[in-house]
């Protein structure tokens, strides 16, 4: 069975990152953009990361320019924007496509594991969120309009489940 840990992705600095580095963590994967109405969600994503990283949460940001040309910058420009405006410290990855033939295997898998409304696989907009359980298998999708803070309860439940299984 395929899990999150079977994939790798290029970090924003160009280095390849095996996602197996996040084994046994709760992982929140988000396609992000700097010029979107949802861009202020960077602050909420950073807060989740700060609040829960020591308990086992990882937030992974994937810049995407497929929706309204809202992420036109280079990786260097994106990293500078995130640092300057939102003090983003969670892992950021290289710009990708999330839909179509150019979507990396990670996003093809996420969309298959957690289809959207009416079973459609396509990501509808920036700041779509995929929450992956610590086994790397269970995936839940949340739309762009779902504020990061509203995910705290689900994140806490997955972290508690992971903690309980580590004790057993």
Q: Which residues lie below 8 Å from residue 119, measured CB to CB, with a gap of 6+?
A: none
Are 71 and 63 spatial neighbours (Cβ–Cβ below 8 Å)? yes
Check 36, 60, 98, 114 and give the catalytic one: 36
State the Cα angle at 100 between 155 and 58, rounded to 5°. 20
Are 110 and 30 spatial neighbours (Cβ–Cβ below 8 Å)? no
Q: Give, as one character, the DSSP assignment of residue 11.
A: B
CA dist., res. 43 & res. 26, Å (int)? 19
56 backbone φψ class: left, alpha, beta (φ>0; ψ -120 to 50): left
Answer yes or no: 36 catalytic: yes
Catalytic residues: 36
């Amino acid at each position: 069975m395929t899990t999150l840990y079977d994939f790798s992705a290029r970090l924003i600095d160009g280095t390849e990152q095996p996602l197996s580095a996040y084994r046994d963590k709760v992982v929140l994967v988000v396609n992000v953009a700097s010029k979107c109405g949802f861009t202020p969600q960077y602050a909420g994503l950073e807060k989740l990361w700060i609040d829960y990283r020591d308990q086992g949460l990882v937030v992974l940001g994937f810049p995407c320019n497929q929706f309204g040309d809202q992420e036109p910058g280079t990786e260097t420009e994106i990293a500078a924007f995130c640092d300057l405006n939102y003090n983003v410290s969670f892992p950021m990855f290289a710009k990708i496509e999330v839909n179509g033939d150019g979507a990396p295997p990670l996003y093809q898998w996420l969309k298959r594991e957690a289809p959207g409304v009416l079973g459609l696989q396509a990501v509808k907009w920036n700041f779509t969120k995929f929450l992956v359980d610590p086994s790397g298998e269970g995936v839940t999708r949340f739309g762009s309009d779902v504020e990061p803070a509203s995910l705290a309860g689900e994140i806490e439940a997955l972290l508690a489940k992971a903690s309980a299984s580590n004790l057993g």
